[in-house]
Amino acid sequence: MTGRSAEKMDCTVRLHHNGTMEEHKVETGSNLHLILKNAGLPVDLQCGGNGTCGKCLVRITGPSGIPYKESRTYEEKKLLGEERLALGYRLACSTAVFDGIEVWLPDSDAKMKITSQGKRRNVILNPIVAKTVLFLDKPSINDQCSDLERLEKAYDLYESRRLNPRMQKNRMELPVAELQHLAATLRSCDFTVTLVNIAGSISAVEPGDTSGTNYGIAFDIGTTSVVGYLVNLNTGLEEGVRSAANPQRFFGADVISRISYTMNDPVKLAEMNRAIIDEINEMIDALAKEASISSSAIYAASFAGNTTMMHFLMKIPADGIALAPFIPVVTDLNFITARDLGIRINDNGKAVIFPSVSAYVGADTVAAVLSTGMYQAEEISLLVDIGTNGEIVLGNRDGMVACSAAAGPAFEGAGIHNGVSSVAGAIDQVRLLPELEYTTIGGTGAVGICGSGIVDAVAEMLRAGIINKSGKFIDPEDSCYENSILRNRIIKTDGLSAFVLAKQKECDAGMDIAVTQKDVREVQNAKAAIAAGIRILSHTSGTRLEAVKKVYLAGGFGSYMNIDNAIQIGLLPEELEGRIEAVGNASGTGAAEGLISWEALWKTKTIKSLIQYIELSYSKEFLNEYMECMKLGKK
């Protein structure tokens, strides 16, 4: 142990996983894998701890956040390489711990509750990948035209019979690799071939009739999760869905921390990019296997996500997004050869990157506007996607205004005393009157409280008189309510008033699960940002909230949040009551819609142009609204 005393003594290790942190006192020099195992935290160890499989990969930092670089083993150097070691990556089975280190584990996908379903519209099937079967004339002494000319003549004849002459013919842009194999392809199938039209250009020639196999895959890349949808482009039907935690969470819980991690550092940007590309490829392989197809049968992959996620997907620096005046590199609809991004679908397949509006209103919002249809409606609608940044859009076919409200991570369980992500055991529903009741995800013992649970808890505490409209705990002795059971659950923790939802004996967390005064303030800050953002858009557009006919709640939090409780605390204005509909993963639904309908995909350009972005960070009016919206209760 270079530079360390061999004397055994206690040290403190902090373990980060699934949005939670645990602090452990252990013996200096203890094996990290054994510590994780004893703590009940999942680590894969396929090689039995020999340091050869790399499945127990963790990231370690010192007390000041500097990557941990000491005591590297030969196996780690060989398996991980100097680049990853320099960033603090280590194998748990090969690492001895010392005082003050922070250990970051990948989140457990299996335990996360991720919203994958959304409300789909009926659209006319006109996929961005189309296949045309051609029967070519065979060459002869009297017909010596080249193979490519022969192919083009057959295609011209097909087009002349099928299309209105005034319509533009699809381009034939065969890659060099296709030309190199064209002779063999034509002769292997007796001159019957299938042309593959991908995103408006003929990009591949396949032997025989392959028209029955035509797939696309749509991805919603969220800050916390990734969802992939396998779509049969011949039928427009979804044939598989998979979800996972976004592995980029390893580098920070929000987009700003991830941008900071990669800023001015191409190596770290490549690392961020590799993390999401690897996850995408794993999902592609899994979905293809489940559908009993080859990944080469997938010809297009569409992507929606916030602007930062789209930059990282394309390995484009996102530095400008984090600093005023908040300028992204690209916001347009883009078609990129998938293999250039490292995405393993058909060799000629295209990656379709949905357009963004601005640095903080991204492609996920555009996709959600598409899937709800609010861009073509005469009536006025409101779209709200509540997360760390709450994206809000108000308007109709004549124009829309949008903003991004920095709500912070409270609605995702972060920054809350016993907060966790939407994992098994998270308290997700709470009722205090007539008696205390709660549910957990998966029905297991409680391990913490997630976003929907914290909204319920604060709303119920307000109803029960445990807190007042300013968010302050009412002294139990001064409380006017008669419920002594609830009154007796008001305690002090870390010097703060707190209300115990679940006592230690009921929990798998090994401690009481409580909502503290600080937690209430975090919820007030988060809900004030969203509520103020909605009112700013109302003022800016001159639209009274009473005139809004439909409210679409998008995303995972919106799907599980109790709408009555959201109105009770003032997260959603009471003027909208009775018109609010949860639409699930509207971003993923929009990304899939763009695969099965060329018209829908091109409408994303129209949507982008219809939306006027309102920057809130320097708005005095927003600050005033925000302070007013800090109060709990209906406004």
Do both 162 and 89 map to the same domain?
no
Instruction: Select the more confidently predicted residue: 114 or 120.
Output: 120
- Tell me, yes or no, whether 533 lies in a domain: no
Do both 198 and 233 map to the same domain?
no
DSSP letter for each residue of 224-236: SEEEEEEEETTTT
* Pairing verdict, β 399-406 and 426-431: unpaired
From 332, 360, 388, the end of a domain falls on 360
DSSP letter for each residue of 325-390: T---S--S-EEEEGGGGT--S-TT-EEEE---SSSSS-HHHHHHHHHHTGGG-SS-EEEEE-SSEE
Percent of the chain with pLDDT over 70: 88
Q: Helices 266-290 & 255-262, crossing angle to 10 degrees? A: 120
- Tell me, yes or no, whether 180 lies in a domain: yes
- Give the pLDDT confidence of 503-531 residue by residue, as tens digits: 888 876 667 889 999 999 999 999 999 99
User: Has residue 168 got a pLDDT over 60?
Assistant: no
The Cα 568–Cα 582 span in angstroms is: 17
The Cα 33–Cα 27 span in angstroms is: 13
CATH number where 38 lies: 3.10.20.30
User: Has residue 369 got a pLDDT over 90?
Assistant: yes
DSSP summary character for residue 112: B
- Tell me, yes or no, whether 353 lies in a domain: yes
- Find the domain containing 188 and state its range: 129-207
The Cα 181–Cα 193 span in angstroms is: 13
Within 10 A of 54 (CB to CB), how many other CB atoms are there?
A: 17
pLDDT at residue number 418: 83
Do both 186 and 233 map to the same domain?
no
The Cα 166–Cα 149 span in angstroms is: 23
Phi, psi dihedral angles at 44 (to 5 degrees): -85, 140
Instruction: Select the more confidently predicted residue: 606 or 491.
Output: 606
CATH number where 178 lies: 3.10.20.880
- Tell me, yes or no, whether 284 lies in a domain: yes
The Cα 63–Cα 550 span in angstroms is: 49
Domain count, the chain: 3
- Give the pLDDT confidence of 269-321 residue by residue, as tens digits: 999 999 999 999 999 999 999 999 999 999 999 999 999 999 999 999 999 99
What six digits make up the tokens of 14?
């902090």
Average pLDDT over residues 231-259: 89
Across the chain, which distance is largest between two alpha carbons, in Å? 105
Do both 223 and 95 map to the same domain?
no
What six digits make up the tokens of 31?
């094996």
pLDDT at residue number 406: 87
Do both 252 and 324 map to the same domain?
yes
The Cα 159–Cα 154 span in angstroms is: 9
- Tell me, yes or no, whether 175 lies in a domain: yes
Do both 288 and 337 map to the same domain?
yes
pLDDT at residue number 55: 59
Which range among 64-73, 126-135, 349-358 shows the weakest confidence by mean pLDDT? 64-73
